[in-house]
Chain A
């Protein structure tokens, strides 16, 4: 793993930040992508870098293909390789379909699904050339189960799971694996602000009786990114305390 180069989209917050930290600990050179808040991204990178070698931040809106291409070009110019891509950037715009503003449908598909496509497409030539690569897509229990209020989100994540399976078959002979990880409800800044009654309601649905820890996701991502996982492709791992 040391010497490998990784790009983690949405890598400065929540699960993405933990994945970046886990890679840094393993000696991987990490580029933490973010889309808007420069100051927060800088402080996240400084914090993650304490775990090992310095992590870098790189700004791009993954739903904009030109920005994605220029981000990947910049990394390839500096590193001459890009071995691991984690498509983690994602947004939520929940609402019942009948009343959903069309922009909320489009935006969620643009970021969660089209963004993963643009990033994957941008890194594949380098991975094929090196005959080694790892793409790990972060999906959701919503990809596997229906959930009222999440037609847009579940379609984007279900689409990403199907994308994972097909791309895995295209890339298998080049030593490139494509897998997905499905985190359940995870302790992050977001769930930290939940009201107590909502928190209890969520926990009552989870057989494990608790939320997951970010490192429980990053450990699985790190395994899928390793040489040891080279024969696993087109698969997904649910890490959700038994929820699905």
Chain B
């Protein structure tokens, strides 16, 4: 999948799976950290996102070390999916 399209898809998935009702895709800056600031997501939210991403893209985020790399930003997440999807 084209990277730009994937980034838009990921923004929508993040909003949907974490039920961020007041957030629009345009509010998510692809280079900004996903957790700890910006969107105000916490580490327990990340669990929900892990499950949603694994299901949709067939990737595996086995532990928090990988999670930290993948969730650094939407850009990082897109790169992780492109690199690891089956």
Chain A residues in the interface with B (C-beta under 8 A): 124-125, 128-129, 170, 173-174
A-B contact pairs, 10 of them (CB 8 A): A124-B47, A125-B51, A125-B54, A129-B52, A129-B55, A170-B44, A170-B47, A173-B44, A174-B47, A174-B48
Instruction: Scan B36-51; emit 1 where CB is below 8 A from any A CB, else 0.
Output: 0000000010011011
- Could you tell me the distance between the alpha carbons of A124 and B52 in the complex, rounded to whole angstroms? 13
Residues of chain A within 8 A (CB-CB) of B48 are: 128, 174
- Could you tell me the distance between the alpha carbons of A173 and B54 in the complex, rounded to whole angstroms? 20
Q: In the assembled complex, how far is the CB of residue B19 from the closest CB belonging to chain A, in whole angstroms?
A: 11
Q: Are B47 and A128 in contact (CB under 8 A)?
A: yes
Q: In the assembled complex, how far is the CB of residue A73 from the closest CB belonging to chain B, in whole angstroms?
A: 13
Count of chain B residues near A, Cβ 8 A: 8
- Could you tell me the distance between the alpha carbons of A72 and B71 in the complex, rounded to whole angstroms? 27
Interface SS of chain B: helix, strand, loop or mixed? helix
Chain B residues in the interface with A (C-beta under 8 A): 44, 47-48, 50-52, 54-55
- Which A residue sits closest to B54, measured CB to CB? A125
- Which B residue sits closest to A169, measured CB to CB? B44
Q: In the assembled complex, how far is the CB of residue A128 from the closest CB belonging to chain B, in whole angstroms?
A: 5
- Could you tell me the distance between the alpha carbons of A129 and B52 in the complex, rounded to whole angstroms? 7
Q: In the assembled complex, how far is the CB of residue B50 from the closest CB belonging to chain A, in whole angstroms?
A: 8
Residues of chain A within 8 A (CB-CB) of B52 are: 129
- Could you tell me the distance between the alpha carbons of A174 and B44 in the complex, rounded to whole angstroms? 10
- Could you tell me the distance between the alpha carbons of A16 and B32 in the complex, rounded to whole angstroms? 49
What are the nearest 7 A-B pairs in CB distance?
A129-B51, A128-B51, A125-B51, A128-B47, A128-B48, A170-B44, A129-B55
- Could you tell me the distance between the alpha carbons of A170 and B55 in the complex, rounded to whole angstroms? 21
- Which B residue sits closest to A128, measured CB to CB? B51
Q: A129-B51, A174-B48 are in contact. List 13 more A-B contacts (CB 8 A).
A: A124-B47, A125-B50, A125-B51, A125-B54, A128-B47, A128-B48, A128-B51, A129-B52, A129-B55, A170-B44, A170-B47, A173-B44, A174-B47
Q: In the assembled complex, how far is the CB of residue B35 from the closest CB belonging to chain A, in whole angstroms?
A: 15
- Which A residue sits closest to B61, measured CB to CB? A125
- Which A residue sits closest to B43, measured CB to CB? A170
Residues of chain A within 8 A (CB-CB) of B47 are: 124, 128, 170, 174
Residues of chain A within 8 A (CB-CB) of B55 are: 129
Residues of chain A within 8 A (CB-CB) of B44 are: 170, 173
- Could you tell me the distance between the alpha carbons of A92 and B50 in the complex, rounded to whole angstroms? 37
Residues of chain B within 8 A (CB-CB) of A129 are: 51-52, 55
